[in-house]
Amino acid sequence: MVKMENCRRRLGPGVEFFCEQFEAPAGAQMALWGPSGCGKTTMLNLISGLLRPDEGLISVDGVETPKLSEGQLDRFRGERFGFIFQTFNLLAPFSALQNVMLGMRFSDTAPSSEWKPRATALLQRVGLERRLHSKPATMSVGERQRVAIARALANKQKIVVADEPTGSLDPKNAAAVMDLLLEMCREEKVTLLLVTHAHELAECLETCFDCSALIREVSS
Amino acid sequence: MSLWRIAWGYLWNRKLTTSLTVLSVALSVGLIYSVLTLREETRKRFKEEGQFFDVVVGAKGSPLQLTLSALYFMDVPTGNIKLSDYEAIKKHEDVAAAYPICMGDTYHGYRMVGTIPELFDYTWTRASTGEERKPFKLAQGSVFKKSMEAVLGSAVARTEGLKLGDTFIGAHGYIELPPGMAVEDHSKFPYTVAGIMAPSGTPNDRAIFCTMDSVWEVHGQHEEAESQQEGERQKEASSMVTAVLVSLESPALSFEFVEYVNDTFNAMATRPIEQIAKLYDSILATAKSVLLAVGYLVVAISAISILIGLYLSIIQRKRDLAIMRALGASAYEIVGSVLIEAFLVTALGIVAGWLIGNLVAWTVGLYLQYRYGLTIGIFGMLTTEEIAAFSTVGLVGFVAGIVPAWQAYRTDVARDLAEP
């Protein structure tokens, strides 16, 4: 599903990201573990096409993403990837329902008539059937992360990338959100790449990729 | 979730900033629109008044002064001409109707006009459409039948609270004096209200009509109280009129007729429509240009406020734009949503400005009606000039949206998502 080979990206003077070999099969639930600043998020950004590599191969679902134009990459990202962030990144002016529908609006995966029923069903699935029309500012942090999970799966994406998804939650909410995320990814047969610096969280997933040696110094 | 819905969502999310930006656009549009409307409406009304009679004849002097005093009751008359000149003019083969007017007194600032009863039967026909108007139409009572009877313009009756049968006393001269100041009145000669005219939206609403005898009689009495020399002058005045309003068999004859009067009599003839056009082309056109320049300056300031408002909003929500990009929005969709925001702010400003402009025109119209009897139409069809002004404002608003849109286009998604 996701493949990375000899992938290089310059990050600043004398510093670069380099990944010799990475592979995540379809349907895998994989933790990208490492300490803060080790390049985990850079790796996620490269995989999802938010960053382009200076050289090397990145292949997602059989498509070499660095070869796509900017517009093609935007569309590809909208269709294949779902994002979950530590700070939720919901859009403040819009309700929970609208935030999930926005995930569908920018891709061609479903006709517009299906947006609302699918968004409603997903929000019901994450236990927010009574909060459909609530704005993010009026919701708890746990509820906001549930909306983010629903949004990440709105397009029946093949890959969900989650960057420290429980980092802003208390232990009880974190466990509940994590359980929900793993369960839903299994149900939807989605590949999950989860970035974390916490060992205990990484151990919840089937496999773990050690990111601690991805950043290296080079001669400028 | 269309881009329009997304753009509206962001505008609604910062209601106060959006309202202030819309207000600044609206004020500039309102200023421009009210200037254009007032100018167009007053031009139309003045032109219409000017068209009621083909030629005005009066004492030699300023043709514009003669036109303004005889038709709009706005300026001091140029003097008097002989009654015999009026009679000669009336008999001319090109003349369809001629009405003498005598002026000299006022009542609480309203001009008192001596004339003949036939004036109230006068019907003006628009040559191009055949539309007919009676600018001196009665609503109540009858035309004056004898001396010291008066017919009031509708505004006079309304503001002074005068009814049929009531009496009032005029004052000598044309100047409206402040309350309490001594005026030379004609208290021995009270007028009785015989009729009240229908509102016409013309200066006639603010005039009082009576027989010419009344004017002469009042001033004849005046003579008794003054010296012998003054009395002689007043006696002479009784055989004079202030102006003659002339309707010709065809408006096309007016040029020739003006020449005839100027060559034949010790008087001056003028085409009122020509004088009004000159007035607009000189004084009022300059005033309009100055006000329009101010209006467009305000538009420029509004454009800057749109630019600043949108730019700050883009800076504040760089993360939101990055999220949308992460969700699959293309750079063009992001640019589109920002430009739509600029369009919505400008469009709302234009609509609000149009309403404000009409409100201003209506308010100024009330004053013009009170002061000069001119009615100003509001919520009318947009003129070419107004459409051009609105289009300019729309274009300026769109251009003001380009810079923030470009800023949004250059979103560095990974960096903006990483920022706290």
pLDDT in tens, A63-100: 999 999 888 888 888 888 888 887 888 888 899 999 99
The sign of the dihedral angle between the CA atoms of B272, B278, B280, B284 is negative
**Which sequence spans correspond to the domains of chain A?**
27-49+70-209
Distance from CA of A206 to the nearest CA of B (A): 26
What confidence score (pLDDT) does residue A34 get? 87
Give B152-166 as a DSSP string.
E-HHHHHHHT--TT-
Q: Which range, of A133-142, A202-211, B230-239, averages the lowest pLDDT?
A: B230-239
Contact with chain A for residue B319, Cβ under 8 A: yes
B60 within 8 A of B268, measured Cβ to Cβ? yes
Q: Percent of chain A scored above 70 by pLDDT?
A: 100
Cβ–Cβ gap A93/B332 under 8 Å: no
What confidence score (pLDDT) does residue B343 get? 87
* CB burial of residue B229 (10 Å; 0-12, 13-18, 19+): exposed
Residue A153 vs residue B153, higher pLDDT: B153
What confidence score (pLDDT) does residue B209 get? 94
Cβ–Cβ gap A74/B420 under 8 Å: no
B18: which chain A residues are within 8 Å (Cβ-Cβ)? Answer: none
pLDDT of A154 over the 90 cut: no
The mean pLDDT of A164-168, rounded to a whole number, is 80
Q: Consecutive sets of 10 residues in chain B, 420 residues long: mean pLDDT of each?
A: 87 86 84 80 72 89 89 83 90 92 86 90 78 85 89 90 89 60 62 90 87 75 53 63 90 89 91 84 74 76 75 77 83 86 88 90 80 71 80 81 80 74
CA atoms within a 13 Å half-sphere pointing along the CA-CB vector of A90 = 29
What confidence score (pLDDT) does residue B237 get? 57
Cβ–Cβ gap A78/B329 under 8 Å: yes
Residue A173's pLDDT band (boundaries 50, 70, 90)?
confident
- How many contacts, defined by CB atoms under 8 Å, are there between A and B? 68
Distance from CA of B24 to the nearest CA of A (A): 24
**Which sequence spans correspond to the domains of chain B?**
3-44+283-418, 55-270
Cβ–Cβ gap B13/A51 under 8 Å: no
Contact with chain A for residue B183, Cβ under 8 A: no
ipTM of the complex: 0.83
Give which of A73, A106, A115, A160 to mutate to test B binding, by max B Cβ within 10 Å: A106
Give B272-325 as a DSSP string.
HHHHHHHHIIIIIHHHHHHHHHHHHHHHHHHHHHHHHHHHHHHHHTHHHHHHHH
Cβ–Cβ gap B320/A94 under 8 Å: no
Cβ–Cβ gap A105/B1 under 8 Å: yes
Distance from CA of A207 to the nearest CA of B (A): 26
Distance from CA of A3 to the nearest CA of B (A): 20
What confidence score (pLDDT) does residue B184 get? 56
Cβ–Cβ gap B330/A41 under 8 Å: no
8-state DSSP, B270: E
Distance from CA of B414 to the nearest CA of A (A): 6
What confidence score (pLDDT) does residue B174 get? 60
Residue B409 vs residue A3, higher pLDDT: A3
Phi, psi angles (nearest 5°) of residue A82: -115, 140
CATH number of the domain located at residue range(s) A27-49+70-209 in this protein: 3.40.50.300
What is the length of chain B? 420
- Sequence-ordered list of residues with C-beta below 8 angstroms from that of B202, at least 6 positions apart, any chain: B45, B48, B49, B135, B373, B374
- Sequence-ordered list of residues with C-beta below 8 angstroms from that of A190, at least 6 positions apart, any chain: A27, A82, A153, A157, A158, A159, A160, A184
Task: Name which of A87, A98, A106 is nearest B328 (Cβ-Cβ).
Answer: A106
The residue in chain A having the minimum alpha-carbon distance to the alpha carbon of residue B334 is: A106
Give B1-18 as a DSSP string.
--HHHHHHHHHHHTHHHH
Which two tokens mark B414?
């990974």
Contact with chain A for residue B335, Cβ under 8 A: no
